[in-house]
């Protein structure tokens, strides 16, 4: 299967934080009509609608996804649709049903339709409170305390099984918190690291839902897109893991992020009011060892905290800064 060329791509979760930017990047690379964006309930942006085909589907219903795969003669899927960690804790049953149900359906479709390749994101949420938190290794304890994390561990095992048992060329990354300037994330624990920029630009004030000393691994969207596409384009011989690869961008505390933003917005003030998401953050790593991804398929991030902050402030000031409100 792996020697097939990727020509017709479907992106699920295309209206989400990562999907909306990944779809545009894929359309630029493979041609607008070759990348079908699939959303569910959320309203797609004008850019997403005007730059190529857009469809809606309920991915927990296999027939609904299958119809699109056949209609567009899809050979590659980026399956991003999922319920994130904080929303998942409010309704764990729904998180299990959506995350596992849709992944199982997509894997089955990949097997039956002999798709060339499949991408599915895992997360730093696969780790738990008993995992080493600094420079967390590729191979380590996977005992998460969130339902979201449990669906990611189970998903990694399922992906690996479909590769070994059925030869489905499924590839995966354990995304850290993703920071971006186009579409806000929804329902995650790392969302503060995005919201803080919007509030700093618009109001000069932010109330952060984790403590000042909370350190988590993060990545800027251009690196996230690069990692995803590079992994999907890597020669099959270079991709030895089909559960998921650790990837890292940067690590910082909420306080360090505030200090960096203050270089551009000196009167910015951040208060801290930790809520239930603090316990989730405390159960995740502070930094990630991604040496295997670097060695096997050449992963290397471009953005650190300073580069990312400069770019975020520049983009958001243009859109939301004074005079634009
Ligand atoms: N950003 C995600 C979350 O917070 C982690 O994968 O849920």
58-110 pLDDT, tens digit each: 999 999 999 999 999 999 999 999 999 999 999 999 999 999 999 999 999 99
Q: Which of 30, 54, 148, 272 is catalytic?
A: 148
What is the position in ligand 1's atom list of the atom closest to the CA of 185?
1
Whether residue 4 is contained in a domain is answered as: no
State residue 63's pLDDT score: 97
Residues found in the chain? 325
- Can you give the pLDDT at residue 279? 98
pLDDT at position 321, please? Answer: 76
* Residue nearest to ligand 1 atom 6, measured at CA: 123
Q: Residues 98, 205: one domain?
A: no
Ligand 1 centroid distance, CA of 186 (Å): 9
Q: Where a domain ends, among 231, 246, 261?
A: 246
Atom of ligand 1 nearest to the CA of 124: 6
- H helices present in 167-303, as ranges: 192-202, 221-233, 254-262, 277-282, 291-297
Q: Are residues 124 and 107 in contact, defined by beta-carbon separation less than 8 angstroms? A: no
Q: Which is it for the CA torsion 46, 180, 192, 216, positive or negative? A: positive
Between the CA of 125 and the centroid of ligand 1 the distance, in Å, is 7
- How remote is the CA of residue 190 from the centroid of ligand 1, in Å? 6
Q: Tell whether 201 and 61 lie within a shared domain.
A: no
Beta bridge partners of 16: none
The CATH number of the domain holding residue 192 is 3.90.25.10
Task: Confirm whether 148 is a catalytic residue.
Answer: yes
Atom of ligand 1 nearest to the CA of 178: 1
How many angstroms does the Cα of residue 51 sit away from the middle of ligand 1? 28
- Order of strands, sheet of 177-179, starting from the edge strand that comes earlier in the sequence: 177-179, 215-220, 250-253
pLDDT at res. 2: 44
Q: What is the reported pLDDT for 1? A: 44
The answer to whether position 325 is within a domain reads no
Per the listing, tokens 């967390």 go with: 136
Q: Mutation test of ligand 1: which of 189, 249, 251, 275 has the most ligand atoms closer than 8 Å to its C-beta? A: 189
Q: How far apart are CA 323 and CA 235, in angstroms?
A: 49
Instruction: Identify whether residues 191 and 291 lie together within a single domain.
Output: yes
Same domain, 128 and 194: no
Q: Report pLDDT for 5.
A: 62
For residue 74, the SS3 value is: coil
Query: How far, in Å, CA of 19 to CA of 15, rounded?
Result: 6
**Does residue 3 belong to any structural domain of this protein?**
no
Radius of gyration of the chain from its Cα atoms, rounded to whole angstroms: 19
Domain of residue 63 covers 9-177+221-246
CATH number of the domain where residue 76 is located = 3.40.50.720
109 and 135 share a domain?
yes
In a domain, 119, yes or no: yes
Burial tier of 74 (Cβ tally within 10 Å: 0-12, 13-18, 19+)? buried
Distance CA 56, CA 49 (A): 12
For residues 197-234, b (16+ Cβ closer than 10 Å) or e, as one string?
bbbbbeeeebebbbeeebbbbbbbbbbbbbbbbebbee
Task: Give the pLDDT confidence of 11-29 residue by residue, as tens digits.
Answer: 999 999 999 999 999 999 9
pLDDT of 325: 41
Q: How many domains does the chain have?
A: 2
How many alpha carbons lie under 13 Å from residue 51 in its C-beta half-sphere? 20
Ligand 1 pocket: which residues have CB below 6 Å? 84-85, 123-125, 148, 175, 177, 188-190
pTM of the model: 0.96
CB hemisphere CA count around 232 (13 angstroms): 24
Q: What is the pLDDT of residue 87?
A: 97
| Residues 57 and 70 grouped into a single domain | yes
Q: Looking at 42-105, which runs of residues are DSSP E strands?
A: 54-56, 76-79
Per-residue pLDDT tens listing for the chain (325 residues): 444 566 899 999 999 999 999 999 999 999 999 999 999 888 899 999 999 999 999 999 999 999 999 999 999 999 999 999 999 999 999 999 999 999 999 999 999 999 999 999 999 999 999 999 999 999 999 999 999 999 999 999 999 999 999 999 999 999 999 999 999 998 999 999 999 999 999 999 999 999 999 999 999 999 999 999 999 999 999 999 999 999 999 999 999 999 999 999 999 999 999 999 999 999 999 999 999 999 999 999 999 999 999 999 999 999 887 755 4
In this structure, the answer to whether residues 196 and 313 fall within a common structural domain is: yes
| Residue whose pair of structure tokens reads 């309203």 in the numeric block | 43
């Amino acid at each position: 299967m792996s020697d097939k060329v990727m020509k017709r791509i479907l992106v699920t979760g295309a209206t989400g934080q990562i999907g909306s930017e990944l779809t545009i990047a894929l359309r630029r690379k493979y041609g607008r009509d070759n990348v079908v964006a699939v959303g569910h309930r959320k309203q797609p942006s004008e850019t997403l609608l005007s730059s190529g085909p857009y469809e809606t589907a309920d991915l927990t219903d296999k027939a609904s996804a299958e119809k699109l795969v056949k209609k567009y003669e899809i050979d590659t899927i980026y399956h991003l649709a999922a319920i994130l960690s904080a929303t998942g804790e409010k309704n764990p049953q729904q998180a299990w049903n959506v995350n596992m149900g849709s992944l199982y359906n997509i894997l089955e479709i990949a097997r039956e339709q002999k798709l060339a390749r499949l991408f599915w994101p895992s997360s730093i949420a696969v780790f738990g409170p008993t995992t080493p938190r600094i420079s967390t290794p590729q191979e380590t304890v996977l005992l998460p305390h969130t339902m979201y994390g449990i669906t990611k561990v189970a998903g990694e095992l399922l992906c690996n099984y479909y590769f070994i048992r059925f030869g489905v060329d499924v590839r995966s990354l354990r995304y850290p918190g993703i920071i971006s300037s186009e579409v806000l994330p929804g329902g995650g624990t790392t969302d503060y690291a995005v919201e803080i920029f919007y509030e700093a630009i618009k109001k000069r004030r932010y109330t952060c839902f984790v403590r000042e000393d909370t350190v988590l691994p993060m990545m800027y969207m251009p690196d996230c897109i690069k990692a995803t596409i590079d992994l999907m384009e890597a020669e099959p011989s270079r991709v030895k893991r089909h559960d998921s690869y650790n990837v890292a961008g940067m690590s910082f505390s909420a306080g360090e992020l505030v200090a960096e933003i203050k270089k551009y917005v000196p009167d910015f003030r951040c208060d801290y009011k930790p809520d239930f998401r603090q316990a989730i953050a405390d159960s995740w790593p502070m930094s990630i060892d991604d040496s295997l991804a670097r060695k096997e398929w050449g992963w290397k991030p471009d953005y650190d905290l300073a580069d990312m902050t400069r770019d975020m402030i520049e983009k958001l000031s243009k859109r939301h800064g004074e005079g634009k409100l």
